[in-house]
């Protein structure tokens, strides 16, 4: 396995499972930091701020500086700041998403003014009403750009499934005929924002994930290397059926680290 300069790490199934830190997670981050490489934690989450995600990682005994955490929500805010600087945005999402949009320098509109938005941003919205959905639809019909945090149709919760942000985006798409720009995995937007954030080139970067339908396609579309771990939702038997094959497969971060260290003569193999 080539040793890369930058690593993007998925969280659940890679770094932790529930409240359990997975094998090799701390050692892998320590190796990255000691060798002067770059890393970011990537999460498809639109419900929590990067600070909240960082706090969870830190509670498991891992280093997680705020600047090392990118969520689909924060990536969406970065995308809007980059492509729609200063725009008026109507947000269908939880308060942390709207706050990230404000912090990125954009104006978040109320329901009363939402139809005049220049951008409609959709995330998970547990306070969604027909009236708010109608405002978003009208704004898109009026020409607003349409951006969604991710395409997840279902959100796994304790003992049940709830509609995800992708379900809300799909309703707007069905009403307007307009397809949204998707930021989160399996779309490559979050990775492109992460690359821009740390000034990294695709050829020197790898994503480490546990999902054949999320992490691997996102990395492939963004032109970076893809590493699949079997410490999460994917079994080895499922790999051969995947439409997009990972570049490498390991049991967990401990196994990946052992292989990387064995193929690293000094620093000459760095990507």
Q: Look at residue 106 and tell me whether its pLDDT is greater than 90.
A: yes
Q: Which of 157, 156, 189, 153 is nearest to 174 (CA)?
A: 153
Taking residues 247-251, report their average pLDDT. Answer: 97
Write down all domains in the chain, each with its CATH number in brackets. 6-40+205-262 (3.40.50.1000), 73-182 (3.40.50.1000)
Contact yes or no for 128/93 (Cβ under 8 A): no
Residue 45: pLDDT band (50, 70, 90) is confident
Residue 154: pLDDT band (50, 70, 90) is confident
Taking residues 69-84, report their average pLDDT. Answer: 96
12 is catalytic: yes
Across the chain, mean pLDDT equals 94
The Cα–Cα gap between 6 and 44 comes to 19
Q: Look at residue 16 and tell me whether its pLDDT is greater than 90.
A: yes
The separation between CA 156 and the C-alpha centre of its own chain, rounded to angstroms, equals 16
The Cα–Cα gap between 192 and 205 comes to 11
Judging by DSSP bridges, how do beta strands 154-157 and 160-163 pair with one another?
antiparallel
Q: What percent of the chain has pLDDT over 90?
A: 88
Q: Which of 10, 152, 187, 215 is catalytic?
A: 10
Taking residues 128-135, report their average pLDDT. Answer: 98
CB atoms < 10 A from the CB of 216, how many?
26
Taking residues 185-205, report their average pLDDT. Answer: 96
Taking residues 175-184, report their average pLDDT. Answer: 97
The Cα–Cα gap between 43 and 182 comes to 14
Q: Which of 12, 113, 247, 259 is catalytic?
A: 12
Cβ-in-10-Å burial (0-12, 13-18, 19+) of 50 comes to: buried
Q: Look at residue 95 and tell me whether its pLDDT is greater than 70.
A: yes
| Residue 19 vs residue 80, higher pLDDT | 80
10 is catalytic: yes
Taking residues 71-92, report their average pLDDT. Answer: 96
What pLDDT is attached to residue 18? Answer: 84
| Assessment of whether the complete model's pTM goes beyond 0.75 | yes
What pLDDT is attached to residue 265? Answer: 62
């Amino acid at each position: 396995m080539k040793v890369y300069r930058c690593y993007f790490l998925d969280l659940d199934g890679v770094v932790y499972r529930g409240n359990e830190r997975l094998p090799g997670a701390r050692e892998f981050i320590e190796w990255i930091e000691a060798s002067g490489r770059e890393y970011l934690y990537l999460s498809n989450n639109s419900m929590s701020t990067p600070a909240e995600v960082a706090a969870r990682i830190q509670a498991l005994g891992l280093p997680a500086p705020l600047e090392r955490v990118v969520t689909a929500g924060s990536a969406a805010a970065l995308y809007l700041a980059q492509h729609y600087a200063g725009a008026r945005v109507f947000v269908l999402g939880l308060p942390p998403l709207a706050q990230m949009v404000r912090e990125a320098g954009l104006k978040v509109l109320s329901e009363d003014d939402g139809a005049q938005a220049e951008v409609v941003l959709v995330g998970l919205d547990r306070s969604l009403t027909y009236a708010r959905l109608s405002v978003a639809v009208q704004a898109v019909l009026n020409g607003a750009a349409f951006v969604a945090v991710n395409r997840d149709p279902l959100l796994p919760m304790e003992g049940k499934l709830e509609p995800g942000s992708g379900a809300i985006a799909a309703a707007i798409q069905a009403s307007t005929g307009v397809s949204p720009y998707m930021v989160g995995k399996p779309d490559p937007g979050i990775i492109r924002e992460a690359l821009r954030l740390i000034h990294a080139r695709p050829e020197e970067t790898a994503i480490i994930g546990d999902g054949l339908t999320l992490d691997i396609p996102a990395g492939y579309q963004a032109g970076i290397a893809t590493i699949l771990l079997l410490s999460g939702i994917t079994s080895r038997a499922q790999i051969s059926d995947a439409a997009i094959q990972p570049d490498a497969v390991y049991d967990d971060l401990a196994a990946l680290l052992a292989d990387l260290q064995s193929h690293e003569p000094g620093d000459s193999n760095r990507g």
